[in-house]
């Protein structure tokens, strides 16, 4: 594998160690990664997927690649992407290994954030080469995903002897490899879930509340504000914090909770939980004055108990 791919993607004959590629689980992730590997000169040869959405994604991202059962994918491919949900992965790997579908020397790549390479042990015992390559990106299941892989960070876990090969594959897909130790995978994944998944929930809830307040275009109002907040947070961490909690403005926070109870009681618990966490971090980093913290934390305690 060439660790420094040419952005113009020369033909396969000009590049060493081109691989046949298979995808088990034609969800949003697998076809996009296979398409990126195809741009790097590898050759997708098979994918598995039965739903209408899987068929459509495969047709859009991997035209001409046949959809076959998982065991047949492994029979045809030298590099197999196991792109299935986290909870499905262990049984899938065990089943493929037990039925003899795994071949010695075959590269098995899973894209789970939670799991490292231990989940691939049954296949490893059958002679497979295990890699965990998790793209820290949300996927739409459309061709735009391939473009978004450019510069995308991948959480990489692999046996030490395969580390360079794993990192080379990530680079060929346009990504940036970030080494994650096996034992740190669950914490790594929790961090990404807090950042990405909870962000979507917070933004959706903020838009909902703005609509209730009569704002006609919530996204238009939130876009510049949240864009600036995200940029500042990525640059400065806790030092970027602003707002009533950081100021210790207990009266404003109490008014927020009162209004939420009246108009959106389902939002109270999340507001109080995030405000408590914000207050703790602001206090620990010297942003919230201790003399103001007592009243604020009292308001949040009362708000959480009603």
Q: Please write the tens of the pLDDT for every residue from 188-203.
A: 999 999 999 999 999 9
Given a cut of 90, whether residue 245 has pLDDT beyond it is yes
Residue 57 clears pLDDT 70, i.e. is over it: yes
Which of the two residues, 288 and 1, has the higher pLDDT score?
Answer: 288
pLDDT attached to residue 53: 87
Residues 175/149, Cβ–Cβ less than 8 Å: yes
132-160 pLDDT, tens digit per residue, is: 999 999 999 899 999 999 999 999 999 99
Mean pLDDT, to the nearest integer, of 64-92?
A: 96
- If you average pLDDT over residues 86-109, what whole number do you get? 97
Mean pLDDT of the chain: 92
pLDDT at 16 (0 to 100): 43
Cα distance between residue 58 and residue 32, in whole Å: 9
Residue 17 has a pLDDT of 58
Are the C-beta atoms of residues 173 and 196 closer than 8 Å to each other? no
pLDDT at 55 over 90: no
- The pLDDT of 55-78, averaged and rounded, is 94
Mean pLDDT of 288-305: 90
Rounded to whole angstroms, how far apart are CA atoms 52 and 60?
A: 12
As a whole number of angstroms, the distance between CA 304 and CA 204 comes to 22
Evaluate if residue 18 carries a pLDDT over 70: yes
The CATH fold assigned to 12-180 is Rossmann fold (3.40.50)
Model confidence band, residue 224 (pLDDT cutoffs 50, 70, 90): very high
Domain locations in the chain as residue ranges: 12-180, 188-305
Share of the chain above pLDDT 90, in %: 87
Cβ–Cβ < 8 Å for 171, 149: no
Is there a contact between 8 and 125 (Cβ–Cβ < 8 Å)? no
């Amino acid at each position: 594998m060439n660790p420094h791919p040419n952005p113009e993607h020369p033909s396969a004959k000009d590049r060493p160690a081109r691989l046949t590629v298979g995808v088990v689980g034609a969800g949003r992730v697998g076809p996009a990664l296979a398409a990126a590997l195809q741009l790097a000169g590898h050759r997708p040869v098979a994918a598995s997927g039965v739903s209408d959405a899987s068929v459509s994604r495969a047709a859009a991202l991997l035209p001409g690649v046949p959809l076959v059962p998982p065991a047949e994918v492994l029979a045809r491919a030298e590099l197999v992407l196991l792109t299935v949900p986290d909870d499905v992965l262990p049984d899938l790997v065990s089943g493929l290994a037990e039925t003899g579908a795994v071949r010695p020397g075959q590269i098995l790549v899973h894209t789970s954030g939670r799991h490292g390479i231990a989940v691939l042990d049954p296949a490893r015992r059958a002679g497979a080469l295990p890699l965990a390559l998790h793209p820290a990106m949300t996927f739409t299941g459309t061709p735009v995903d391939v473009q978004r892989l450019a510069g995308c960070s991948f959480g990489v876990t692999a046996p030490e002897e395969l580390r360079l090969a794993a990192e080379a594959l990530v680079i060929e897909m346009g990504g940036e490899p970030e080494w994650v130790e096996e034992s740190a995978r669950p914490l790594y994944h929790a961090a990404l879930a807090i950042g990405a998944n909870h962000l979507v929930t917070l933004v959706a809830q903020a838009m909902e509340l703005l609509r209730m307040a009569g704002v006609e275009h919530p996204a238009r109002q939130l876009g510049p504000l949240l864009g600036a907040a995200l940029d500042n947070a990525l640059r400065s961490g806790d030092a970027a914090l602003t707002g009533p909690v950081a100021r210790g403005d207990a009266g404003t926070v109490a008014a927020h909770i009162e209004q939420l109870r009246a108009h959106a009681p389902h939002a109270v618990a999340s507001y109080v939980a995030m405000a408590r966490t914000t207050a703790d971090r602001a206090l620990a980093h010297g942003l919230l004055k201790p003399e103001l913290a007592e009243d604020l934390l009292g308001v949040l305690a009362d708000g959480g108990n009603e």
